[in-house]
């Protein structure tokens, strides 16, 4: 089943994250915009919750033995790894060029090539690095990969405990994370802010997503309107802007996703008006992964050297690199990622025919 509202919310979140990173390069007044968007960074958890929902729903009955699990892992690896390697290679090239003095790389941590191995192994969000490096946003990809690997544990709790078992797993995970944060093992004020330790944050979110999927599947609600879901999500954003306790915003996000899922099941035609955003929503993952590349090229070369000297207003220019990021993500998905992913999955034995078989879309 396709959840249009989930795809739309992920697109909006991806665009907000891109705006947040791009706005750092603006004039001093832009920091107000940065601070406001920063208050909504817990919305990153929405990405992981939705992924947990979709992955659990798609694969919970398809990983019953070692062969099925291997096929599932191969398909997920083939979906995320090609784009990760392509964008990672760009930052490695910049780092090498900076090492030999061809370009100025600024902060050494960003282009620390000693961190290449954990980035290649998708382990940079497992607590093995001190700082994010290279394509810094790929920490969330590392966190997703961790959750993909541990999906059988989530399924196990569901098979023996149902939705209540998933809620218990979520509660246990959060309790452990709160303890590790309080004792300083996880070097963040809250586990909801973790990135270099983001794998464990994402696992809690994945479990919550699985719980929402199980609860929505068993729901007897006859809800057919999306209004409650949109209003609940808006309420979550308001609580973040007001700096209210983060668990309140988290709970409202989870409730909004539950209401949206129930409505999509009861009346999928009600979300067809969101189809206008489908071309961009399909490539939310690409927007998220490509925009740091566009950021580097645009705001370290094009903007300061070619555009700003012309006296063009930063905010008048800002929509251009954002649009370019979306277009490159779309082109990358349709002309590169699908082909390389299909070929890789075929080579790994997850697809019977590399031309006809279809890879799952992001989040499936």
Mean pLDDT of 34-59: 92
pLDDT of residue 82: 93
191-207 in b/e burial notation, b at 16+ Cβ within 10 A?
Answer: bbbbbbbbbbbbbbbbb
pLDDT of residue 40: 87
Residue 344 near residue 81 (C-beta atoms within 8 A): yes
Q: Cα(262)–Cα(127) distance, rounded to whole angstroms?
A: 36
C-alpha distances (whole Å) from 302 to each of 8, 28, 129, 196, 296 are 30, 19, 31, 30, 9
Q: Cα(43)–Cα(288) distance, rounded to whole angstroms?
A: 14
pLDDT of residue 362: 47
pLDDT in tens, 162-190: 999 999 999 999 999 999 999 999 999 89
Confidence of residue 30 (pLDDT cuts 50, 70, 90): confident
Residue 52 near residue 207 (C-beta atoms within 8 A): yes
pLDDT in tens, 109-157: 788 888 999 999 999 999 999 899 999 999 999 999 999 999 999 999 9
Half-sphere exposure of 294 (CA within 13 A, CB side): 22
pLDDT in tens, 241-295: 999 999 999 999 999 999 999 999 999 999 999 999 999 999 999 999 999 999 9
pLDDT in tens, 323-360: 999 999 999 999 888 888 888 888 887 665 544 444 45
Helix axes 246-266, 44-59, angle to 10 degrees: 40
pLDDT in tens, 203-221: 999 999 999 999 999 999 9
pLDDT of residue 344: 83
Mean pLDDT of 65-82: 93
Q: Which percentage of the chain shows pLDDT scores above 90?
A: 80
pLDDT of residue 356: 46
Residue 1 near residue 53 (C-beta atoms within 8 A): no
Mean pLDDT of 59-79: 93
Half-sphere exposure of 213 (CA within 13 A, CB side): 25
* Run of H or E residues at 295: helix 284-297
Q: Cα(50)–Cα(67) distance, rounded to whole angstroms?
A: 26
Handedness of CA 282, 287, 290, 294 (dihedral sign): positive
Angle (nearest 5°) at CA 186 between 240 and 147: 80
Handedness of CA 249, 230, 11, 171 (dihedral sign): positive
């Amino acid at each position: 089943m396709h959840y249009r509202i989930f795809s739309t919310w992920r697109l909006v979140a991806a665009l907000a994250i891109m705006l947040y990173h791009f706005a750092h390069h603006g004039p001093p007044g832009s920091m107000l915009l940065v601070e406001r968007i920063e208050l909504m960074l817990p919305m990153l958890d929405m990405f992981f919750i939705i992924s947990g929902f979709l992955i659990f729903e798609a694969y919970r009955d398809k990983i019953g033995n070692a062969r099925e699990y291997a096929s599932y892992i191969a398909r997920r690896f083939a979906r995320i790894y090609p784009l990760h390697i392509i964008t990672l290679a760009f930052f490695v090239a910049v780092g090498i060029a900076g090492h030999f003095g061809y370009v100025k790389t600024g902060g050494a941590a960003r282009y620390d090539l000693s961190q290449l191995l954990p980035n290649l192994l998708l382990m940079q969000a497992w607590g093995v690095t001190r700082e994010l490096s290279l394509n810094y946003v790929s920490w969330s990809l590392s966190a997703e990969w961790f959750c993909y690997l541990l999906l059988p544990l989530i399924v196990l709790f569901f098979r023996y405990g149902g939705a209540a078992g998933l809620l218990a797993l979520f509660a246990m995970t959060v309790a452990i994370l709160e303890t590790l944060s309080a004792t300083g093992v996880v070097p963040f004020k809250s586990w909801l802010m973790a990135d270099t330790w983001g794998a464990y944050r994402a696992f809690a979110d994945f479990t919550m997503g699985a719980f929402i999927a199980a609860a929505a599947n068993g729901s007897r609600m006859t809800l057919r309107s999306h209004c409650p879901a949109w209003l609940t999500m808006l309420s979550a954003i308001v609580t973040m802007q007001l700096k209210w306790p983060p668990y309140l915003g988290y709970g409202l996000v989870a409730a909004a996703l539950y209401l949206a899922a129930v409505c999509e099941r009861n009346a999928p035609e009600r979300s067809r008006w969101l189809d206008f955003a489908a071309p961009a929503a399909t490539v939310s993952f690409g927007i998220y992964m490509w925009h740091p590349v566009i950021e580097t090229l645009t705001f370290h070369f094009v903007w300061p050297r070619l555009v700003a000297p012309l006296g063009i207003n930063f905010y008048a220019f800002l929509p251009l690199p954002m649009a370019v990021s979306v277009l490159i993500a779309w082109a990358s998905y349709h002309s590169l990622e699908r082909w390389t992913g299909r070929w890789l999955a075929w080579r790994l034995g997850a697809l019977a025919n590399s031309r006809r078989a279809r890879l799952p879309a992001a989040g499936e």
